[in-house]
Amino acid sequence: MKILYVYCHPLPESFHATICAEALAGLRDAGPRLRVLVSQSASGYYGPHGSEPVDESAPPGDDFLASAVVAWEAEARTGAEDLGLRVPLCRTGVVLSPSGGALAKMLTPFKLGVGGPVAGGDQYMPWVHIDDVVGALLFALDTEEADGPLNVTAPTPVTNREFSKALGSALHRPAFMPVPGFAIRLLYGEMATIVTTGVRAEPKRLTELDYSFTRPSLGPALEAALSG
C-alpha cells in the first residue's frame, strides 16, 4: 500500500495550508497513485470544553490551535479526496514519550519536588502514550473504515490534578505545589491552552473500530515513558 503521512506542527494556519497544498499538488503528477493520506494534528481542534466528554462529532473551537487544525484538515481532506484518497484525520493528545515533547518539559519541577497541578488542576488532559500514537496511525493506514476524524487519545482521560499526582508518584516526588497558568504559557506558548484549559477528548471512533490500546492506563504509561 502506498501512503502519504502529513503532520500539523503549531505554526500559523496559512503556513499549514500552504505545506499541505504543495504536498498534494505533487501527488497529482505522481504515479503510481497513493491510496491513503494520514493527517496528524491535535485534539486542540475542539478548544476548551471543561469536563464535557468530547468525541469526533464535536465542532471546532475558536482559539489559535483550533484554527490551525481546522485550516490544516480542510486542506488535507479536500485535496486528498479530490484525488480519491482515504483520509484519516488523527487528532493527537498530549504525547507521553521518552524522547522529549510535552512530558520532558514537565519533568524538571517535579524532579525538584515543586511540581503540581496547573491552573487549578480541574481541566482535563487528553494524554496518550507514544506506543499508541504509532499503533493508531498504523491502524488508520490498514483499516478501510478509518476515515475522517480519529481522536488519538487514551480511553482514560484524567484531570490535570490527577495527572500531576500520577507523575509525582512515578517519580517518587511530591506533587502538591500549584503552578500558575502564566508560567505554563511562558513555557509552551500558544500550545499552553491544551494544558491550562484542557479538553476531555475520548477516542470514540478508534474504540468503535476495535483498536486495542497498548497503554490505556496512565500510571503504567508514565512508568513506560520514564523508563524508556
Residues of the chain short of pLDDT 50, as ranges, are 1-6, 8-13, 15
Helix 13-28, helix 64-82: angle, nearest 10: 10
Determine the 3-state secondary structure of 91 from DSSP. Answer: strand
Cell for 116? 503540581
Q: How far apart are the first and last CA of the chain?
A: 31
Q: Name the burial class of residue 226, with classes exposed (0-12), middle (13-18) and buried (19+) by CB atoms within 10 angstroms of its CB.
A: middle
Please give the angle made by the CA atoms of 182, 186 and 190, to the nearest 5 degrees.
95
pTM given for the model: 0.86
The whole-number pLDDT of residue 28 equals: 67
Write down the residue that cell numbers 500539523 correspond to: 8
- In whole angstroms, how far apart are CA 57 and each of 60, 68, 98, 176? 9, 18, 32, 36
- Each residue's pLDDT tens digit, 97-137: 998 888 888 888 889 888 899 888 999 999 999 999 999 99
The whole-number pLDDT of residue 223 equals: 96
The whole-number pLDDT of residue 138 equals: 96
DSSP lists the bridge partners of residue 152 as 92
Phi-psi region of 2 (alpha: psi -120 to 50; beta: other; left: phi over 0): beta
The whole-number pLDDT of residue 187 equals: 67
